[in-house]
Amino acid sequence: MENTQYATSIPEIDAAVDHLCSPRSLGSVWLQSAQSSRMPQTAVLREIMQRLRAILFPGYFGSSVTSGSVKYHIAANLDSVYHLLADQIRRGFTFLHAIQGDEQDAQETADRANACTINLIQEIPKIRDLLALDAQAAYEGDPAASSPAETIFCYPSLYAMVHHRIAHVLYENKVPLIPRMIQEMAHSHTGIDIHPGASIGSHFFIDHGTGVVIGETSIIGDHCRLYQGVTLGALSFPKNADGTLVKGFARHPILGNKVTVYAGATILGRIHIGDKCVIGGNVWVTEDIPEGSHVVQGKHIQ
Amino acid sequence: MENTQYATSIPEIDAAVDHLCSPRSLGSVWLQSAQSSRMPQTAVLREIMQRLRAILFPGYFGSSVTSGSVKYHIAANLDSVYHLLADQIRRGFTFLHAIQGDEQDAQETADRANACTINLIQEIPKIRDLLALDAQAAYEGDPAASSPAETIFCYPSLYAMVHHRIAHVLYENKVPLIPRMIQEMAHSHTGIDIHPGASIGSHFFIDHGTGVVIGETSIIGDHCRLYQGVTLGALSFPKNADGTLVKGFARHPILGNKVTVYAGATILGRIHIGDKCVIGGNVWVTEDIPEGSHVVQGKHIQ
Amino acid sequence: MENTQYATSIPEIDAAVDHLCSPRSLGSVWLQSAQSSRMPQTAVLREIMQRLRAILFPGYFGSSVTSGSVKYHIAANLDSVYHLLADQIRRGFTFLHAIQGDEQDAQETADRANACTINLIQEIPKIRDLLALDAQAAYEGDPAASSPAETIFCYPSLYAMVHHRIAHVLYENKVPLIPRMIQEMAHSHTGIDIHPGASIGSHFFIDHGTGVVIGETSIIGDHCRLYQGVTLGALSFPKNADGTLVKGFARHPILGNKVTVYAGATILGRIHIGDKCVIGGNVWVTEDIPEGSHVVQGKHIQ
Amino acid sequence: MENTQYATSIPEIDAAVDHLCSPRSLGSVWLQSAQSSRMPQTAVLREIMQRLRAILFPGYFGSSVTSGSVKYHIAANLDSVYHLLADQIRRGFTFLHAIQGDEQDAQETADRANACTINLIQEIPKIRDLLALDAQAAYEGDPAASSPAETIFCYPSLYAMVHHRIAHVLYENKVPLIPRMIQEMAHSHTGIDIHPGASIGSHFFIDHGTGVVIGETSIIGDHCRLYQGVTLGALSFPKNADGTLVKGFARHPILGNKVTVYAGATILGRIHIGDKCVIGGNVWVTEDIPEGSHVVQGKHIQ
Amino acid sequence: MENTQYATSIPEIDAAVDHLCSPRSLGSVWLQSAQSSRMPQTAVLREIMQRLRAILFPGYFGSSVTSGSVKYHIAANLDSVYHLLADQIRRGFTFLHAIQGDEQDAQETADRANACTINLIQEIPKIRDLLALDAQAAYEGDPAASSPAETIFCYPSLYAMVHHRIAHVLYENKVPLIPRMIQEMAHSHTGIDIHPGASIGSHFFIDHGTGVVIGETSIIGDHCRLYQGVTLGALSFPKNADGTLVKGFARHPILGNKVTVYAGATILGRIHIGDKCVIGGNVWVTEDIPEGSHVVQGKHIQ
Amino acid sequence: MENTQYATSIPEIDAAVDHLCSPRSLGSVWLQSAQSSRMPQTAVLREIMQRLRAILFPGYFGSSVTSGSVKYHIAANLDSVYHLLADQIRRGFTFLHAIQGDEQDAQETADRANACTINLIQEIPKIRDLLALDAQAAYEGDPAASSPAETIFCYPSLYAMVHHRIAHVLYENKVPLIPRMIQEMAHSHTGIDIHPGASIGSHFFIDHGTGVVIGETSIIGDHCRLYQGVTLGALSFPKNADGTLVKGFARHPILGNKVTVYAGATILGRIHIGDKCVIGGNVWVTEDIPEGSHVVQGKHIQ
């Protein structure tokens, strides 16, 4: 076999290919048995989210429906979501097994993916209830909004919350990778970055939203409202004896009910912000705030 | 009729469908006669904005043109924009009527949509004039810019201002929903969130732009420049006797001419920032600032 | 020739066309010999970036590969990138010549575009090495990350750094427009805005990322970490005698190794942030910070 | 207004435009009030036919279904077909009115379009019954077929008959243009050209099919089989006193039951081909053929 | 450089690659300097034909137009056709030069491509005149047609003739490859195969059309009508002294005016079919037919 | 649970749904465990054929290549074809098992699909050799062809033969359904219908091609040429004792070398057409023809 047949006319390309395919270089990025044919698929997740939007808000999104025919479309979309999502979740588990170098029992993985999907489907009516209240909150909280319907149709807050409330159920079911991808789709679209682990109550509204970050272990009560650039973050990252980060411990704030956080405020650590607190714009908070407080610029709490 | 025919093999899906189609659940999101076939269409608005970009900046966007043929392409695009946009605006009015439960006279609605569209078309030459000055301001304000042409072709500020200057004319014509959708397309693309109601003078430039919020009743003079993360917001939301927000009153800042606002600054309330003021990064301002002031960190004005 | 044939039935459209095609209006936006057929093409750059992602992270992106076949796919993608990118770079030079009103020697331009592309291809192995370390840093820096693989597949930081490390090589080769377009693609997708001119060391990670701005002449050492909303900006813009901005001088910060900058911090000017510094959230820094300092709220350095 | 602004740099284009827009030239093709926005839409008809295929043959085409969920998908598709097709039929009537120069009552047209669509929907169960028998006939008639399922999935005969049996119902309801478009979609795809007016019994199969033509007033019994290149045509076209063709009279053959017509045979005129006849390849027939006859080459019947 | 890095895990793929890239195998199909980046592009030709249809039949195809705005759309489409087609024709010449091993002067080729395109544009008004008469002929010749407009919108004959009348002008200008590609697009869509070289008079109609073949040097008068499966072919192919076929000599029939040829008839050789002749279905003709003859089955003329 | 929730407002749709989902109606078309998620996918087969065309004729189809880089692209395409096609073949076997009601061993099916795919890959060099000779034959046989390259790029004969020669290898490997689908893709595109079972020698050319049918057990020697409308078919279909057709026995013609068959000729049954025979247009042949015969109209052989 003549090796020269492989040569391109441009030696720099050949050299780069050789480098990129050397065991050392490939090894630096090569996931054990990584194969794009087995990876979760962004385009399919996008279709799933579109069908879910049509299920949650019929008439606004998806095929045209009437009160007579709405059930048919919801049922067909839900059935398709079931098939499509179970497969994506299975891919998520496969990815996790590849990372962990686990043996994987194909049937067990499929069963587990199915169970997670069924659990999400059971939660969807509750998710719609919450989103309807979120729309009401958006309408009531934004003087520029003309109706809850408008906020359902085109507000970034509602878009982000559809993604979050779905992703959160999957996270609770310990589905790997998929909730994170659903989060990033909303993050990229809206600039609102809510970790799937965050627990968020009813009547939630984020105005404008760009730059909002809500960390993995955040807990938010009912009737809360955030503005753009708000961070609910961690204050420090304790490490294990071996120097690696401790993963998963409670490190983000807890907000009570009816808390408002204005633009650019930063709330860090496992602190409690009491009911009906108002945190002013650009304020920096790292300690508990008692119920009903108004915290403003110049009175940083740390 | 055997009802069991409707059953899927997966009872959880059936149960979720029943919940989601119950009058209580549907009622929580059901817009009176909402039908996606009558909703404004994001994909068509996207096409409209692409054609408008080709009209405003021939040679940069759209079909290839020469100085000899440019008029043909502008005319054809403008004629298509007229037809497409009038239909979208009609859909916007239909949405509004559905929300308000109004009777709608189809012909009257169509006539009003046409009139709004014609008014936009009349404004387009003026919009181009303003955008050309915005490109000049971007070039002059950014040491990294090599030409106004570069800013037209790929700067987020220009992208956002094309959307805003179009949306603002529609807002002034009291078109429902459509200006907001045009705003959100730019917001999602650039992270710059300018309410269609905001009034913005000539030679306007936003550098980087992510996180900028400009509220509905803001007024900005000529030759102003903002950086990323700047908020021109409201300080408070007065309520009506029934506890609902007062909608539409003047609640955002007025900036004079030649005002510069650095990254992360927050300017709130119906205050006046005088000509040639410079507001420093991360500064928080809630009171009038006299002409020519320089406001910096540590000297918060509230 | 009857002029009335040109008339549409709607005189406002005719009038707008006439205005928009008047020498004065066209002249305000008309690039000398601008032709969209000669402009760089966003859709092709998008394809190029997808192919580069498949080259850099085989198995994660692009066609399905095995350890046996990965070389074929890398080689084919690299060859296609070479052809496609050289053409886009040529278009970038053509755009520059049009702006500058230069005579352009077609062959010389093509040769220069080829040389720039070849140089990028030579750098790709090094770029992969750096990105693999970035993935490691993301995993180590985020308690919510389950593996470096997860960060490669769906973290905005890695997405932004793929674009930046490619764009930076092109910038160093003085390719006009194209690096900026690559930057803006990532900026729009992630909210992270890194100028192609910025020089960034190994093990770099940006958490969340929305609103981050890294200026053209910034220099960042190894093992640095930024959070959302961080600005590495310029403090002032000196002007030339004729009042225009001085372009391209060093005006952004230099960060040493192992520097961490928390959310919303602003670091401005050609200052040095020493090794192992920690800059707190929302902090404003405009002067040098010695090695090992911890700068927090309330202790603004300016 | 300067007319020269309209001039392209290439006078031949200007001259062609002037010619093409002259009243004489435009008038030769200009349909009274023709507007592409009101024309039937090939892409929508294509979607309608895909949904109908999914309704008729669930599991073969359209979303994945199980025996439990099939009803949901059929119902959702049928509801969408109803909305989409009623609109296309309305466009068909609008086209007809434009041609005839009729006044058109919009509501009456919409009602009539709805009624035609409802009638089709009522016929769809019967259409499926017939197509299932057609698949059985294809399997039994082609030694190369391995199952009826294979013929449903990829035989041109079944493809053409789905289109024909739908188009025929619309034709019977006097829907203009749409049945013809549905016919041409199948004709282009398969080379089989069956006029929507043709009446075709059960268990019908066309092998290979390219070049088959079945005229408007043809009547075909049950259990018939045709091969490629068969024509069931008209022998002559009587004219009215004014020299125009008499439209719509019965001019094509009647085939009894269990008739087989081999490749390339031509059967012309309002003649009767009796039950169980076999017409040989390339045979030319213009007179009645009694029941049970075998007609072969060299024994032309005319 | 380790060659084994190139090995896939499947040796049969490696072996096939080696075979396929061996000089012998590649050489059998390798066009001197063939590069797909320089080949004519089917997708672009498809766009060109769509734009030409919108130019020829405004209102039926392309953007919605009114009598007031039609000129804008025709002009914009014609300008785009000019740019797109000139480039495709240039690619056709490049292909020809590659085959012939010619040196090619790039400027000369571009000039020639431009000249050919301009010539086509000059002919388009005449082409529309002919197509309008073809639509009239289709309406008058088909008892199933309800109007000329219907035949413009969905008859295969009109579709094929749009392609042919365009391709014929390019053929006359000696454009390589492109006319043939335009022909094959129509052939694939309609089953009608008209060589671009054929010269066809006014009022031409082909009913059904599948299987019709009209050879390169055919000449057809005015008011002719063909049915499906008609061949106007060559009788023999004289060879040169070296055994190769003589290319390009007149070898196909000449049809006078008002000739009708019924389905499946075959007319071969450089013979004359006189005015007003009627050639019956399946008839085989290889000798001149005098004016006004009716030739039917059983009276073969050879 | 209220059943009336399922009712649409249009009772005819409900009634049709009930009919279509009744066990009797569904049962008539319901493939045991048919699921579109497990059916072969036309779109993927289309991609496979495009990649195969790029492998067989590099430079004509697929990415741009040079003599230096061609191997990379061929290898990458072949690897992708391997993965994609093995999956489609597996789906073909799954379909067959569903029809036959077989238990299916998933691993065994996958192994068999892989083996069939590998066998095709091994044959591809030979397939290219044959296609290169087919292109030569097309050039030599058509006075209108200017080069073999032209015939590769746009002749329907070459298009059909790429599909056939691929499908034939799969047929020989007893792959169900997939070869038939590949055949129908070419049949629909070209009007040439070659059963995958047919065995065809080298230097094969079909001119024009519409309406050509070549049956399953046909055998064609080298240097043969067919014209449009030629049928190589079966004369009769013997039945089994139970009245069903005998499947798969040799029932189509055998053509020797250098046989030419002119347009519309029909050759039926397991007969031998000797070397160098010429079968005239429209001739009907059902008996053996000795070597070197010329069969013409009026001398039917039956």
Condensed to tens digits (0 to 9), the pLDDT of residues F250-275 reads 999 999 999 999 999 999 999 999 99
Q: What backbone torsions phi and psi does residue E62 show, to the nearest 5 degrees? A: 80, -165
Measured CA to CA, the distance from residue F202 to residue F189 in angstroms comes to 23
pLDDT in tens, A226-280: 999 999 999 877 888 887 777 778 999 999 999 999 999 999 999 999 999 999 9
Pull the structure tokens for residue E209: 């059309």
Instruction: State which residue of chain F sits closest to C63, comparing Cα positions.
Output: F80
Interchain contact, A3 vs E5, CB within 8 Å = no
The predicted model gives D77-86 an average pLDDT of: 96
Residues of B in contact with F21 (CB under 8 A): 5
pLDDT at E253: 98
ipTM above 0.90, yes or no: yes
D118 contacts chain A (CB < 8 A): no
D64 or D2, higher pLDDT: D64
- Whether domain C32-190 has CATH 1.10.3130.10: the reply is yes
Measured CA to CA, the distance from residue F80 to residue E6 in angstroms comes to 16
Q: Which of A4-8, B178-182, E42-46, E160-164 has the lowest mean pLDDT?
A: A4-8
DSSP secondary structure letters along B208-274: S-TT-EE-TT-EE-SS-EEETT-EEE-S---B-TTSPBPPS---S-EE-TT-EE-TT-EEESS-EE-
Positive or negative torsion for Cα F123, F129, F135, F138:
negative
Interface of F with B in 183-242 (CB under 8 A): none
pLDDT at C140: 93
Interchain contact, C10 vs E68, CB within 8 Å = yes
E284 contacts chain D (CB < 8 A): no
Decide if C60 contacts A34 (C-beta within 8 A).
yes
Instruction: State which residue of chain E sits closest to A19, comparing Cα positions.
Output: E1
Look up tokens 């399946």; give the residue.
E282
Chain C contact probe: residue of B72, B208, B230, B261 with most C CBs at under 10 A: B208
Confidence of residue E36 (pLDDT cuts 50, 70, 90): low
Calculate the alpha carbon distances from C155 to A41, A107, C145, C222, C259 in Å: 15, 30, 9, 19, 21
- Closest chain A C-alpha to D37 CA, distance in angstroms: 20
Q: What backbone torsions phi and psi does residue D141 show, to the nearest 5 degrees? A: -95, -10
Residue A10 CA to chain centroid, in angstroms? 45
- Residue C86, SS3 per DSSP: helix
- Closest chain A C-alpha to B297 CA, distance in angstroms: 11
Q: What share of chain B is helix, strand, coil (3-state, %, to 5)?
A: 50, 15, 40
- Closest chain E C-alpha to D125 CA, distance in angstroms: 29
- Closest chain B C-alpha to D72 CA, distance in angstroms: 7
Pull the structure tokens for residue E198: 């054929």
DSSP letter assigned to residue E252 = S
pLDDT at A104: 79
Homologous superfamily of the A28-192 domain (CATH): serine acetyltransferase, domain 1 (1.10.3130.10)
DSSP letter assigned to residue F189 = H
DSSP secondary structure letters along D39-74: S--HHHHHHHHHHHHHHHSBTTBSS---TTTHHHHH
Measured CA to CA, the distance from residue E271 to residue E263 in angstroms comes to 19
Residues of C in contact with A235 (CB under 8 A): none
A281 contacts chain C (CB < 8 A): no
Query: Counting one residue from A and one from F, how many pairs have CB atoms under 8 Å apart?
Result: 34
Confidence of residue D281 (pLDDT cuts 50, 70, 90): confident
Measured CA to CA, the distance from residue C97 to residue C111 in angstroms comes to 15
Measured CA to CA, the distance from residue D76 to residue D79 in angstroms comes to 5
A69 contacts chain F (CB < 8 A): yes
DSSP letter assigned to residue F298 = T
First to last CA, chain C: 71
D7 contacts chain E (CB < 8 A): no
Residues of E in contact with A3 (CB under 8 A): 1, 3
* Closest partner CB to A150 (pick from B21, B30, B177): B177
Residues of D in contact with F248 (CB under 8 A): 143
Interchain contact, B229 vs C229, CB within 8 Å = yes
Where chain B has pLDDT below 70, the residues are 1-9, 31-36, 297-302
Q: Which of A208-222, B156-170, D50-64, E25-39 has the lowest mean pLDDT?
A: E25-39
* Closest partner CB to A18 (pick from E1, E18, E21): E1
pLDDT in tens, D160-189: 999 999 999 999 999 999 999 999 999 999
Instruction: State which residue of chain B sits closest to E69, comparing Cα positions.
Output: B79
pLDDT in tens, A62-119: 988 888 889 999 999 999 999 999 999 999 999 998 888 877 788 999 999 999 999 9
Instruction: State which residue of chain F sits closest to B19, comparing Cα positions.
Output: F1
Q: What is the pTM of this model?
A: 0.93
Degrees to nearest 5, angle at CA D225 with D224 and D229: 135
Query: Counting one residue from D and one from E, how many pairs have CB atoms under 8 Å apart?
Result: 164
A12 contacts chain E (CB < 8 A): no
Decide if B218 contacts B254 (C-beta within 8 A).
yes
pLDDT at C181: 97
Location of each CATH 2.160.10.10 domain in chain D: 211-302
For F181, what's the count of Cα atoms within 13 Å in the CB-facing half-sphere? 22
pLDDT in tens, F36-87: 678 999 999 999 999 999 999 998 999 888 888 899 999 999 999 999 999 9
B262 contacts chain A (CB < 8 A): no
Average pLDDT along chain B: 90
Homologous superfamily of the E38-191 domain (CATH): serine acetyltransferase, domain 1 (1.10.3130.10)
- Closest chain D C-alpha to C15 CA, distance in angstroms: 9
Calculate the alpha carbon distances from C24 to B132, C30, C277, F199 in Å: 12, 10, 55, 71
- Residue D247, SS3 per DSSP: coil
Residues of E in contact with C72 (CB under 8 A): 6, 8, 17
CATH class name, domain B31-190: mainly alpha
Residue D3: pLDDT above 50?
no
Q: What backbone torsions phi and psi does residue B232 show, to the nearest 5 degrees? A: -110, 95
pLDDT at B5: 39
Residue A2: pLDDT above 60?
no
Decide if F197 contacts F171 (C-beta within 8 A).
yes
Interface of F with E in 79-108 (CB under 8 A): 79, 82
Q: What backbone torsions phi and psi does residue F262 show, to the nearest 5 degrees? A: -85, 170
Residues of B in contact with D37 (CB under 8 A): 83
- Residue F158, SS3 per DSSP: helix
* CA neighbor of D163 nearest in space, from D199, D208, D194, D202: D194
Pull the structure tokens for residue D37: 């926005």
HEC assignment per residue over chain A:
CCHHHHCCCCHHHHHHHHHHHCHHHHHHHCCCCCCHHHCCCHHHHHHHHHHHHHHHCECCECCCCCCCCHHHHHHHHHHHHHHHHHHHHHHHHHHHHHHHCCCCCHHHHHHHHHHHHHHHHHHHHHHHHHHHHHHHHHHHHCCCCCCHHHHHHHCHHHHHHHHHHHHHHHHHCCCCCHHHHHHHHHHHHHCCEECCCCEECCCCEEECCCCCEECCCCEECCCCEEECCCEEECCCCCECCCCCECCCCCCCCEECCCCEECCCCEEECCCEECCCCEECCCCEECCCECCCCEECCCCCEC
Pull the structure tokens for residue F146: 């200017």
Decide if E211 contacts E232 (C-beta within 8 A).
no
Location of each CATH 1.10.3130.10 domain in chain B: 31-190
pLDDT at B31: 67
Residues of E in contact with A6 (CB under 8 A): 3, 6
Counting every residue written for chain C, the total comes to: 302
B274 contacts chain C (CB < 8 A): no
Look up tokens 């490629």; give the residue.
D228
Where chain C has pLDDT below 70, the residues are 1-9, 31-36, 297-302
E72 contacts chain B (CB < 8 A): yes
Positive or negative torsion for Cα B44, B45, B48, B50:
negative
The predicted model gives D26-53 an average pLDDT of: 84
* Closest partner CB to E18 (pick from A1, A18, A21): A1
> Which CATH architecture is the domain F28-191 placed in?
Orthogonal Bundle (1.10)
pLDDT at F298: 55
Residue C104 CA to chain centroid, in angstroms? 26
Residue D126 CA to chain centroid, in angstroms? 18
> Which CATH architecture is the domain D33-191 placed in?
Orthogonal Bundle (1.10)
Neighbour subunits, C (≥3 Cβ pairs < 8 A): A, B, D, E, F
pLDDT at F9: 65
Q: What backbone torsions phi and psi does residue E2 show, to the nearest 5 degrees? A: -80, 120
Interchain contact, F213 vs D228, CB within 8 Å = yes
DSSP letter assigned to residue C217 = T
Interchain contact, B228 vs C193, CB within 8 Å = yes
Decide if B273 contacts B279 (C-beta within 8 A).
yes
- Closest chain B C-alpha to E87 CA, distance in angstroms: 13
Q: What backbone torsions phi and psi does residue F28 show, to the nearest 5 degrees? A: -70, -20
Degrees to nearest 5, angle at CA C112 with C110 and C117: 95
CB count in 10 Å sphere of residue D105: 11
Degrees to nearest 5, angle at CA A176 with A173 and A179: 75
- Closest chain A C-alpha to F14 CA, distance in angstroms: 9
Instruction: State which residue of chain D sits closest to B9, comparing Cα positions.
Output: D68
Neighbour subunits, D (≥3 Cβ pairs < 8 A): A, B, C, E, F
Query: Counting one residue from B and one from E, how many pairs have CB atoms under 8 Å apart?
Result: 39
Residues of D in contact with A47 (CB under 8 A): none
Measured CA to CA, the distance from residue E125 to residue E122 in angstroms comes to 7
Confidence of residue D4 (pLDDT cuts 50, 70, 90): very low
Residues of C in contact with B143 (CB under 8 A): 216, 234, 237, 245-249, 251
A77 contacts chain D (CB < 8 A): yes
- Closest chain C C-alpha to E44 CA, distance in angstroms: 14
Please report which residue ranges of chain D form alpha helices under DSSP H.
Answer: 11-21, 23-29, 42-56, 70-100, 106-141, 148-154, 156-172, 178-190
Location of each CATH 1.10.3130.10 domain in chain C: 32-190
- Whether domain A211-302 has CATH 3.40.47.10: the reply is no
* Closest partner CB to E193 (pick from F141, F189, F208): F208
Measured CA to CA, the distance from residue F91 to residue F181 in angstroms comes to 12
pLDDT in tens, D228-279: 999 999 987 788 888 777 777 899 999 999 999 999 999 999 999 999 999 9
* CA neighbor of E59 nearest in space, from B82, D39, D98, B47: D39
Decide if D94 contacts D121 (C-beta within 8 A).
no
- Closest chain F C-alpha to E140 CA, distance in angstroms: 27
Degrees to nearest 5, angle at CA C68 with C64 and C70: 50
Look up tokens 């159920």; give the residue.
A169
Interface of A with B in 137-176 (CB under 8 A): 140-144, 146-147, 149-150, 152-156
D111 contacts chain F (CB < 8 A): no
Per-residue burial over F144-176, b if 16 or more Cβ lie within 10 Å, else e, is bbbbbbbbbbbbbbbbbbbbbbbbbbbbbbebb
